[in-house]
Amino acid sequence: MKHQHILVIRFSAMGDVAMTVPVVWAVAKQYPDVRITVLSRGFARPFFENLAPNVNFMEADLKGEYHGMKGLNRLYRRLAAKQFTHVADLHSVLRSNYLRLRFNLSHFKVEHIDKHRKMRHALVNKNMKKKVKQQLPTSFENYTEVFAKLGFPITENNFTSIFPPFGGDLTQLPEIFGEKKEGEKWIGIAPYAAHQGKIYPKEQMHEVVRQLIEKYPDARIFLFGRGKEEDETFPVWIKEMPQCNHVSQHIAAMQHELILMSHLDVMVSMDSANMHMASLVNTPVVSIWGATHPMAGFMGWNQSKENAVQLDLDCRPCSIYGQKPCIHGDFRCMTGIKPEMVVEKIENILK
């Protein structure tokens, strides 16, 4: 019998790829004799490299080697040569659809994700009479369904972390991070996201940090994020509050960020990749939601909805991914969240 080998396709953004990890781990654990190869962008390698003995990672450079139709055909030929027996398309976009078509024509066993587009449209409908606020299947459930259709149902998923119970190896990090002292609180703050509808106002997040330091003067605050906004904001906060640390100034590799996250007592994040990264290392997250909503199915793995900070507004959610302009023009879903609401959630976890 031909050895079973599953190709898992998920390109997309970091957070979406991170959400495949618990499901891939569960399949790998339940079916140890089945090989699994995850095809994704290069940034995702740390998620899967040491996930399980039967899980491999394959990088797809879609902007270089595999760009355009010729590139996708080249990628398909390379994939077909690996003799996969099953193909799980966890993305279902133009590129993966084309690859899926090629595999179907060659009589591979192929299944793809159901994104429940009608339910999503109803959830974010601007017409309040047509808006249907209901919990959609989570991404984890959607991914699990794909494997079930392929013949690999998951009966139990008790994934906790990509690291051992004691976390990642802190000795791999620069000396500036040092060891965590007994009783010392390590708090992560990731204040930015890809779209404005998912970003808590800078001034209000500054007040959150100030209040945390006032309540926990010996705590260490780790500021996560890379980009122009972070480079402009974080140095100002650090100058005012020396307890803050600009993580990306000292750490370049995502693997090292994951190690640091695994030792945090709590992570404060938007509906963004940092929420999902912290979830993969078993760190509780206080997540702040504006234009988007946990109902859309993108809450982090094993994260409690009790730790989500959000306002109950008729217009929410107005967007699945947070990229749409505010219908009121003021993003009141975010500006209306008081810093004390965020701090209270953090305190509940630290206690």
Q: What is the pLDDT of residues 38-74, one digit of tens each?
A: 999 999 999 999 999 999 999 999 999 999 999 999 9
Q: Which alpha helices (DSSP H) does the chain contain, by range?
A: 14-18, 21-30, 45-48, 68-80, 94-105, 117-123, 139-150, 202-215, 228-240, 254-261, 273-279, 332-335, 339-350
The residue behind tokens 């990890």 is: 21
Is residue 13 classed exposed, middle or buried when 0-12, 13-18 and 19+ CB atoms within 10 A define those classes? middle
Task: For residues 12 and 40, give the distance between their C-alpha atoms in angstroms, rounded to a whole number.
Answer: 8
Straight-line distance from the first to the last Cα atom of the chain, in angstroms, rounded to the nearest whole number = 55
pLDDT at res. 2? 66
C-alpha neighbours within 13 Å on the C-beta side of residue 96: 21
Per-residue pLDDT tens over the stretch 175-234: 999 899 999 999 999 999 999 999 999 999 999 999 999 999 999 999 999 999 999 999
pLDDT at res. 317? 98
- CA-based max dimension of the chain: 66
Q: Residue 308's beta-bridge partner residues?
A: 287
Could you tell me the mean pLDDT of each successive run of 10 residues in the chain, 351 residues long? 89 94 98 98 95 97 93 96 96 96 95 97 95 97 98 97 96 93 96 96 98 97 96 97 96 96 98 98 98 98 97 97 95 98 98 91
* Cβ neighbours for 163, distance < 8 A, ≥ 6 positions apart: 258, 259, 262, 281, 282
pLDDT at res. 106? 92
Q: What is the DSSP letter of 44?
A: G
Q: What is the DSSP letter of 79?
A: H
pLDDT at res. 239? 97
- Angle 68-80/94-105 helices, nearest 10 degrees? 50
